[in-house]
Amino acid sequence: MADLADLWAKLQAAKDSKSLLKKNLTEDLYNELKDKKTSFNGTLADCIRSGCENPDSGVGIYASDPEGYTVFAPVLDKVIKDYHKVDKLDHPEPSFGEDKIDFGNLDPSGELIVSTRVRVGRSHDSFGFPPVLSKEDRVNMEKKTLEALNTLEGDLKGTYYPLTGMSKETQKQLTEDHFLFNDSDRFLRAAGGYNDWPTGRGIFHTPDKKFLVWVNEEDHLRFISMQMGGDLQEVYLRLVKAIRQLEKKLSFAKREGLGYLTFCPSNLGTTLRASVHIKIPKLSATPEFKAFCDKLNIQARGIHGEHTESVGGVYDISNKRRLGLTEFEAIQEMRVGVEAVIAEEKRLSGK
């Protein structure tokens, strides 16, 4: 309790904090939740530690474990509505719409789209999130995950590379190729995200590196389908096929109204992020670029992730909404947005 009281005092003292935690955790809510605990032994301190120690956080709160979304719902639900800009938490049942796909390659000429990627996050429903996990939990989770990954066949069959014992050269190369994660995020570190690093963590990928799984990075699992060019249909269907196969072996954490659960409340519902790296030097140079993207519910960022600059007019364009719509609706939103971006770039180029 002393730990929680110290964290609360830090949050109170952070007068300039603009985090969603600071905004939504009132004294009444703090008193209501401070003695609560989940069956994974998750506490309010586990949820708010990062936001209290980093008052410049944007969100500032994580879930201690899948059950935390229910036990600490009085504050988490407020943060979720705030972040996702929704009035109510009524996320629909999953629907991937494989039989309704009416798109293929978004850039058949290959002029603008460099690469396409679709990914989702998933959590085992039988394990907590990083703050409550022991080293043994991480090893057991890795083992359970690997057993499921080893059942994948055909173009999804691949190899698992544990981080433990991986050479620095291999690590560096995989990170530079955008295939591997690292332990450099201070917000995640404060939340316990890197505890026992690198135990229980690794990367699985197919020989052609078109399907990858991150194991025990921020989330228990991240499934990623990617390839060069603009064939969104191929990338999306590969991911859906992998999810369907792995669901036969693993049970994923969900909550009614919130969809799939991950460690951070910013990534719930479909947890789906579909993106292209696209060359748009003309459109990106216009003052209306951000407003153009906002209107279409898409987000533009530098190719090295959030808060990075564009390199040579190449941007990462992705769907913005993940909660309150189906997977098929999310992928369609991204597709329509990217098609509009391509049309506008061509118009500005006089093509």
d(CA 338, CA 111): 14
Give CA separation, 215 vs 17, 90, 118, 122, 349, in Å: 32, 29, 17, 10, 43
Q: Which 3 state secondary structure label does DSSP give 232? A: helix
d(CA 26, CA 8): 10
Summarised one tens digit per residue, pLDDT across range 56-103 is: 999 999 999 999 999 999 999 999 999 999 999 999 999 999 999 999
pLDDT for position 10? 95
Place of tokens 């947005």: 337
Domain range annotation of the chain: 4-84, 113-349
Q: Which two tokens stand for residue 215?
A: 């194991």
The pLDDT confidence band at residue 170, using thresholds 50, 70 and 90, is: confident
d(CA 167, CA 321): 38
Closest CA to 89 of 79, 100, 101: 79
Length of the chain: 351
Q: Is the dihedral of CA 156, 158, 160, 166 positive or negative?
A: negative
Same fold for the domain at 4-84 and the one at 113-349? no
d(CA 49, CA 171): 29
Q: Which residues are annotated as a binding site?
A: 115-119, 178, 222, 273-277, 301-306
CATH topology of domain 113-349: Creatine Kinase; Chain A, domain 2 (3.30.590)
Give CA separation, 310 vs 29, 69, 200, 285, 350, in Å: 41, 36, 34, 11, 23
Summarised one tens digit per residue, pLDDT across range 15-26 is: 999 999 999 999
CATH code reported for the domain at 4-84 = 1.10.135.10
What stretch of H or E contains 347? helix 327-348
Summarised one tens digit per residue, pLDDT across range 118-166 is: 999 999 999 999 999 999 999 999 999 999 999 999 999 999 999 988 8
Summarised one tens digit per residue, pLDDT across range 197-235 is: 999 999 999 999 999 999 998 999 999 999 999 999 999
Place of tokens 């000429």: 109
Q: Which residues are annotated as a binding site for ATP?
A: 115-119, 178, 222, 273-277, 301-306
